[in-house]
Every structure is written in C-alpha cells, then in structure tokens.
Amino acid sequence: MAYWLFKALFSPFLYVIWRVKARNRRFIPTEGGVLLAANHQAFCDSLFLPLVVIRRKVAFLAKAEYFDDKRSAWFFRAAGQLPIRRGGGSASERALATALEVLAEGKTIGLYPEGTRSLDEFVHKGRTGVARMALASGCPVVPVGIRGTAEVQPVGQRTMSPFKRVEVRFGEPMRLTQADVDEVGSEAEALRAFTDRLMHTISELSGRPYLDEYIPKKQG
C-alpha cells in the first residue's frame, strides 16, 4: 500500500519536472514473475524505472540491515526495496534465495547486472546473478536502457537537476533454460553467454557503448 501511495504522490512531479518518456512498455509481461535488468548510472535510476512501469510493482533487493529501523524501513518499503533474507550462505546466495521467493509469487524485480553504478560513459560487463535467477526461476529477463539520469544526477551530486530529459527503453524478453545449458554443456558458460547478450542489448537500448570489463570495486 505504501508503495502505491508513494508512487501516486511523486509520479506527477517526476513526469513534469524531468519530462520522462518510456518506450516499448509492451515488452513487460502483464503477469508472472519477471526480472527487469537495467544499466545503472545514478541513484535516481531506482526512481525512474518503477515510475514508468504502470501496472506492476517493481522491487529492488536491499540489505536487511536497512529495515532494522522502523522509520527508515517504511521509506525503503515504499520505494519498493525488499530486504535480502538473513541467514547462512554468501550474500549472493541469500540474494538468489530472496529473489526466487519473490519471483515465485509472480512479482517484478529490478536489477542492475553491472553490480554498481558506472561512473563513466560505458555499459560494463555484467555479473551473472541475473542469469542465475532467470535459470533457477524460469522467469523472463526484460533488458532496460535508461537514458539521461547521468545528467539529472551527475557523479558526486546528491540532488537532482530539474528540466532534463529521461528516457527508459525496454527490450524484448530474454529467457535462459536448462536446454540452453545442455546445448552449451556447461552452466557457467551458459550463464556467461546469456549475461553478455543481455549487456550488449542494454548497451544498445541505453545508447552507451559496451566495455567488456567489470566496474572497478573502488568506483561503487
């Protein structure tokens, strides 16, 4: 409920001040679990992507610690953030477990395959977590190219500059199945190949050149 209230209050403001446009929303499935995989260049990406997804709630995975304080927990939930389940295993395993639970409920998850924000003009090599979620859940991955948010919120700037153009472009859904793994003969190779195709598509949609290198951790 808080999510839709938050969205109803802020959507008109965001549309007017930043002249937001969405392209090819028809590629977003109307039901069932789905992963939206986007490039990431500014904090406000997580505002504009859910904004243009009209009929579905977009959830992003966040550290469970963010929800310890009841006051901040309300904000994170209203913004569509979901706590990564606590417990054993690595952070990536816990994120996968949380994502599979959400996708099994037929919900939408937004993800940034680069792992963190890119501070340059490139779309970088993606981590294979999105592909792993797609394979384990059987859900489609919709590639997303976000344009303009680097100008709205340049590197190092906490506020959002008004009267800039933002465009969110969706691509055709992609799937990774066990048959694809069997054809390649290696799950690791199938995950890597799928991720590379996904990142090239995101690069085209975002209008940013692709760089076959991970974002350095020190950039995050």
Per-residue pLDDT of the chain (220 residues; tens, 9 = 90+): 677 887 888 888 888 899 899 999 999 999 999 999 999 999 899 889 999 999 899 998 877 776 777 777 777 777 677 777 666 567 778 888 889 999 999 999 999 999 899 999 999 999 999 999 999 999 999 999 999 999 999 988 989 999 999 999 999 999 999 999 999 999 999 999 999 999 999 999 999 999 999 998 765 4
* Dist CA 173 CA 171 (whole Å): 6
Q: Would you state the pLDDT for residue 33?
A: 97
CA distances from 92 to 25, 49, 87 (A): 29, 23, 12
For residue 84, the Cα-to-chain-centroid distance in whole angstroms is 15
* Dist CA 4 CA 189 (whole Å): 40
> Is the whole model's pTM more than 0.85, yes or no?
yes
Q: Residue 21: what are its φ and ψ, rounded to 5°?
A: -125, 145
The answer to whether residue 79 sits within a structural domain is no
Residue 52 sits in which domain range?
22-61+87-215
The answer to whether residue 1 sits within a structural domain is no
Number of domains forming the structure of the chain: 1
The answer to whether residue 182 sits within a structural domain is yes
* Dist CA 164 CA 155 (whole Å): 15
